[in-house]
Structure 1
């Protein structure tokens, strides 16, 4: 069952969303690699947590695939849809950046396909929705595999998804096409999501990340940093495609290693740091932070004539003003909007609770793990 130290995963969410904010508000020249890393960390976390929850539901004595699937989709809708569609409604009302023409794509969680087929980031204020669309597409398909596929085949399927994603990446240098589709279509992100899922599958059978991965993670991380800090050279240089490939394929190994360590519970000074209340709270509201930050930046830029700091360009002024507005909005959204709605999840348990057993007998027959599962998932 879930480790009580899982609260440290909230800190990883805080780290991920901070990397995104840095890339969009502060990074010189709009450098995006830290934002890319933050999104990949979100993907690994999602793959791990969703797969673990589904496998735990499948292992309970009262498990039935149909009710579990219905509950999964209902709980995801309760958690994700209300703030998401509230943002779309706001964008529709104000028509920021003339975004109305694309709202149908975003409402259907096809943002990644919208930007891929246009091959440009227009409208910019909704460009971060591509990753939310990827996650929703993952949520649509992956539970069917985890809950319905033969249990002994799930690990092989997960490895196959990772291999397919890597093969997809290697296609693009052969095609020599730098279109946005190479980064935005679902296969481009399935390696990170499936790496997180693979960690959950291995944990479910009593294993952990392989020893080679623990040893290789620091090397992969070091090479990644060297690559992103290297001079990319001209757009048509021989280094362009190898550099892009390395930036894409290196992060999942160190990210999975970090997620594995935090899900087990870091000790000592690192553990205390990972459980600081401000970091845990930032992780808890990270969905709102990620969802709202470009919208609030767009409003801040419109308000530039009345602001004493420069928010029209990357820099400290933008980071302070737009960052503070984002944190305030996300905090209020969590306290008064998202958290109350999350309480509705209790009406959609993954497994049915036994109705006629005494407390001691219920634990004997496996009801207690089912109840623990609901409490664990309620934190997400």
Structure 2
């Protein structure tokens, strides 16, 4: 069930998290679209991997929806909760400004908090909005994949994408620019839905459509032109179309790239995508994403002890805060996250075909044959 070439998807995680670090540490003025592009790539990857994982479980002869759902949520909690709540605990001690919003973050409602405030306060946890979006997706989508009629799932995924795209037309008609337009769940369901749609197509034996494989480079070029264009004054004729295009145009290139890497790139691109440092960064990308803002805050506070400038966007900040982030995320993975991930073996998606053999396997620390654990790597 596992695609042996999924190793290249770790490279995409690495690229996504580097885009976020570039935006927050290096880009002049904190260029937002670069980091947002990285987050959108994470969404497409998550939609693809979670959907494929659940469809693989559903297609197994011993599948039962109830145990599969329980295992899904248990495994998500094991993977996501420990480092997430560790960061919230650090935020409690490190920043009084963060305390009024901690309950929202703890309930994975960060996106609603910032949309409600229409302000990125507290900035220390502002990147948690995307983690909340994913958790909200995880609450609903597995129910659809595991319980809806199998033949309807592709249509539902297309409907999710269409609803998200239609949501973008609401804002120019009925509202002004606000954080809510990007942070409410419909603003990200198109990216998650695109990844899910790719997985559904793959499950029925077809890949990304031919037109997508042929035209994605042209769409990527158009995207770059749109991003570099002048948005004009507020409420200008170009402002809203530009915003919508910046959100929508990357989706097809991202789907095509995820499809290509999940199949396995060959030649020089494949070798580059399997460079060990890139794969390691992809493996620890969840920790990198979680910890980077707190480590940036620590670096800024320690500026008097650091010989290069970390108080402003630039190479010094990228070097110091970026290095600290990778080191801490690596330690977190080796000593904290990876050992806890071993508990996933107690929550197989599909009941073992031979309970006695599976029991012996668990006793000796092995994963059951139908655990599907290798594909369960949807978080950054």
Provide the residue aligned with 2:83 in structure 1.
83
Q: Deviations over 1:270-315 (max 9, x none)?
A: 0000001100000000000000001111111111122111111110
Provide the residue aligned with 1:304 in structure 2.
303
Q: Partners of 2:369 and 2:187 in 1: how far apart?
A: 35
Deviation, 1:372, is 6.6
Deviation, 1:12, is 0.2
Q: Partners of 2:40 and 2:248 in 1: how far apart?
A: 11
Q: Partners of 1:270 and 1:200 in 2: how far apart?
A: 23
Q: Does 1:144 align with 2:143?
A: yes
What is the SS of the residue equivalent to 1:28? coil
Using the TM superposition, name which of 233-242 and 253-262 deviates more: 233-242
Using the TM superposition, name which of 165-174 and 74-83 deviates more: 165-174
Q: Partners of 1:27 and 1:202 in 2: how far apart?
A: 37
Q: Does 1:56 align with 2:31?
A: no
Provide the residue aligned with 2:5 in structure 1.
5
Matches within 5 A, 1:101-112: 101-112=100-111
TM-score scaled by structure 2? 0.95
Matches within 5 A, 1:104-183: 104-183=103-182
Q: Partners of 1:235 and 1:311 in 2: how far apart?
A: 33
What is the SS of the residue equivalent to 2:29? helix
Q: Partners of 2:240 and 2:96 in 1: how far apart?
A: 33
Q: Deviations over 1:218-244 (max 9, x none)?
A: 121111100111122222322111110
Q: Does 1:338 align with 2:333?
A: no
Q: Does the CA-based 8 Å contact 1:342-1:378 persist in structure 2?
A: no
Matches within 5 A, 1:1-380: 1-94=1-94, 96=95, 98-355=97-354, 371=370, 373-377=372-376
Q: Partners of 1:82 and 1:169 in 2: how far apart?
A: 35
Q: Deviations over 1:53-76 (max 9, x none)?
A: 000000001100000000000000
Q: Please report the RMSD computed on the Cα atoms of aligned residues, expressed in angstroms.
A: 1.7
Q: Does the CA-based 8 Å contact 1:44-1:256 persist in structure 2?
A: yes
What is the SS of the residue equivalent to 2:372? helix
Q: Does the CA-based 8 Å contact 1:202-1:208 persist in structure 2?
A: yes
What is the SS of the residue equivalent to 1:235? coil
Q: Provide runs of 4+ in structure 1 moved above 3 Å.
A: 356-359
Q: Does the CA-based 8 Å contact 2:45-2:195 persist in structure 1?
A: yes
Q: Does the CA-based 8 Å contact 1:25-1:318 persist in structure 2?
A: yes
Q: Deviations over 1:185-235 (max 9, x none)?
A: 000000000000000000000011111211221121111100111122222
Q: Does the CA-based 8 Å contact 1:351-1:370 persist in structure 2?
A: no
Q: Partners of 2:122 and 2:378 in 1: how far apart?
A: 33
What is the SS of the residue equivalent to 2:258? helix
Q: Does the CA-based 8 Å contact 2:349-2:370 persist in structure 1?
A: no
Structure 1: tracts of 5 or more residues without a match: 360-367
Deviation, 1:369, is 10
TM-score scaled by structure 1? 0.95
Deviation, 1:3, is 1.4
Deviation, 1:376, is 3.4
Q: Partners of 2:174 and 2:213 in 1: how far apart?
A: 34
Q: Does the CA-based 8 Å contact 2:45-2:378 persist in structure 1?
A: no
